[in-house]
A and B are shown apart, each in its own frame.
Chain A
Amino acid sequence: MENVYDVPLFIDKTCLLTSPHEKILLVKRQHWTVAALPLLSLFGGSIFAAGMVYVILVSFFGQLILFFMGTSIIFALFFSIATNKLLHWYSHIYVVTTHKASEISCTFRGQKTLQEISLENTLCSEIESSSEGLINSIFQTGDVTISIDTAESEEEIHFRSLSSPHQTSDMLARHFNLIPSDSEKNHIWYSASEDSLRRFLHQQLWNISGGML
């Protein structure tokens, strides 16, 4: 089975794998545009703030040295925030193993699993990929949603802004033996057993009703 390793896999497997038979299927992070677009707007804001400092300190008060200090502080702040955002983007990863799907990130306090769903003992699975909006169509990014029906509850995990979401969902669907839905447009994959059961019941109802349904 092919794996999609977007992130170089030097990840400590002990923190990702919980059982000895578990295998990593996918490790991905969000597309780089997720980090780049806020940084561009932040850079624009810094230029604007530097311009305002120039207008106030140089044009009104004639304090050139204070202008240089103010501008340096603004750009030091910009680089600090930019580094924080880049580190947050870099350490935010989505992991799918044979047993679970999880979203892991790191904060100032340490590594944190934001969401995790178990893929074992599931009744019905659905994997949906979607790509909407101008930015997503230009950079071919989109979301992948994994829905799981367990005996107790219904759970969903969203992988947002992934690169090539349709290929990713296809790969996962092939691994979990799902079949494509009739509507190819939505890129939804269903659990094969559930779908065949639904078709069988529909056929039985059709036969019983003599084609009236």
Chain B
Amino acid sequence: MTFLALAALLVIVAIFLINLLLTKQAYEIIFEKMSLPLPPFLIRLLQFNLIFPLVILSIIVIFLML
């Protein structure tokens, strides 16, 4: 069970890093280079994408510590 939780931890870290790259791409390339204004729903989605894995990450860490 601990092994599965550790695997989940790795996966969620990978998802977080990919989302970080995606957000960087959205802001740098689409917003700054292409000068396309990002609509509010995409900004919210990008923010949610960064927060959601962090919440899961903290839950998994708390579970592992217990």
Across the interface, which residues of A come within 8 angstroms of B45, CB to CB? 79, 82-83, 86
Across the interface, which residues of B come within 8 angstroms of A152, CB to CB? none
Q: What is the CB-to-nearest-CB distance from B4 to chain A, in angstroms, rounded to a whole number?
A: 6
* Total CB contacts across the A-B interface at under 8 A: 92
Nearest B residue to A8, CB-CB: B37
Which residue of the partner chain, among B1, B11, B30, contacts A106 with CB atoms under 8 Å?
Answer: B30
Q: What is the CB-to-nearest-CB distance from B43 to chain A, in angstroms, rounded to a whole number?
A: 11
Across the interface, which residues of B come within 8 angstroms of A83, CB to CB? 19, 22, 42, 45-46, 49
Say yes or no: is A118 at the interface (Cβ < 8 Å to chain B). Answer: no
Whether the pair A73, B8 counts as a contact (CB closer than 8 A) is yes
CA distance A90 to B27 in the complex (A): 13
Across the interface, which residues of B come within 8 angstroms of A77, CB to CB? 15
Say yes or no: is A76 at the interface (Cβ < 8 Å to chain B). Answer: yes
Q: What is the CB-to-nearest-CB distance from B63 to chain A, in angstroms, rounded to a whole number?
A: 6
Say yes or no: is A134 at the interface (Cβ < 8 Å to chain B). Answer: no
CA distance A7 to B26 in the complex (A): 16
Q: What is the CB-to-nearest-CB distance from B12 to chain A, in angstroms, rounded to a whole number?
A: 6
Instruction: With A10-B37, A70-B8, A86-B45 given, name 8 new contacts (CB 8 A).
Output: A15-B34, A66-B1, A66-B4, A66-B5, A68-B59, A72-B59, A83-B22, A111-B33
15 A-B pairs within 8 Å (CB atoms) are namely A8-B36, A12-B34, A66-B4, A68-B59, A69-B63, A72-B59, A79-B45, A79-B49, A80-B15, A80-B18, A87-B26, A93-B36, A106-B33, A106-B34, A111-B33
List the 9 closest A-B pairs by CB distance, nearest first: A12-B35, A72-B56, A69-B8, A91-B30, A106-B29, A76-B15, A83-B45, A76-B53, A11-B35
